[in-house]
Amino acid sequence: MSQYDRLFNSTRIPKHECDLLVSNHNNIRHIVVIKNGHYYKVNILEKNGDLLSAEMIASIMKYLCEDLNEEENPYPLGYFTADKRDRWATIREQIE
C-alpha cells in the first residue's frame, strides 16, 4: 500500500542504471493533460486555493479535447518514454 503515496504528484526521471523517483506533495496546484503529443498544464485551484468546481474542470477538458485545434506535434517527446531506460536517459539529458 505504500505506493499509493506516490500515485499522484510524482514523476520518474530516467537515469542510467536506475531511475530517480521525485515526489512533491507541498505545492499541488495543477495537473498535466497530454493530447496528441502536446502537454498542457491545467491549474485546478482558484487563486484563493479552493479546488475548481467539477463543472469548470470538465469545461477545460472539453476545450482541450474537442475545441482546441492544435497541429500535430512534430516532436512528441512522450514517445521516448517507451524506449529502453538508458537510451531515454541519454536523450533526456540532451534536451534538458
Taking only the tens of pLDDT, the chain with its 96 residues reads: 577 777 778 888 999 999 998 888 777 888 999 888 888 999 999 999 899 999 999 999 999 988 777 788 888 888 888 899 999 999 999 988
E strand residue ranges, 9-60: 10-13, 20-23, 30-35, 38-43
What burial letters (b/e) apply to 41-63, b meaning 16+ CB within 10 Å? eeeeeeeeeeeeeeeeeeebeee
69, 35 contact by CB (below 8 A):
no
pTM of the predicted model, to two decimals? 0.71
